[in-house]
Amino acid sequence: MKISSAESVVMQALWRQSPRTSEAIIAEVGEANGWTEGTVKVLISRLLKKKAIAAQADGRRYLYSPLVTRRAYVESESQGLLDRLFDGRLAPLVTHFSEADKLSDEDIAELKALIERIGR
């Protein structure tokens, strides 16, 4: 399933706290992104259609909860990025950032520690 960048903003709100009403979602993401109530409701509808979120009736309103975990979303998006830009390989991505001077000393230390853990 493909979740757009706008839809991911709604998902982030639901991953932070759920279940939530549309009013709570609108309050959190609407104004901050310059979106109207209608825009946020369209995004919620799209996510429902994609089965990324579920709606549960609560009186005259609905409570929305994510069906896709943040971890699954990040994994899918990360792999998609690697596939599109780096032939599915991680090393060229890291090389790109190192050559563009985008890796901080902290990033480099974390990568070294990760490689050491993987090598064990």
- For helices 70-86 and 91-99, what crossing angle results, to 10°? 80
Strands (E), the chain: 53-58, 61-66
- Please determine whether the domains at 5-66 and 70-119 fall in the same fold group of CATH: no
> What is the tens place of the pLDDT at every residue in 29-61?
999 999 999 999 999 999 999 999 999 999 999
Q: What is the mean pLDDT of the chain?
A: 94
Res 103 pLDDT > 90: no
CATH topology of domain 70-119: Penicillinase repressor fold (1.10.4040)
> What is the tens place of the pLDDT at every residue in 7-18?
999 999 999 999
Res 65 pLDDT > 90: yes
pLDDT, position 51: 97
Q: Output the pTM of the full model.
A: 0.81
Domain boundaries, the chain: 5-66, 70-119
CATH topology of domain 5-66: Arc Repressor Mutant, subunit A (1.10.10)
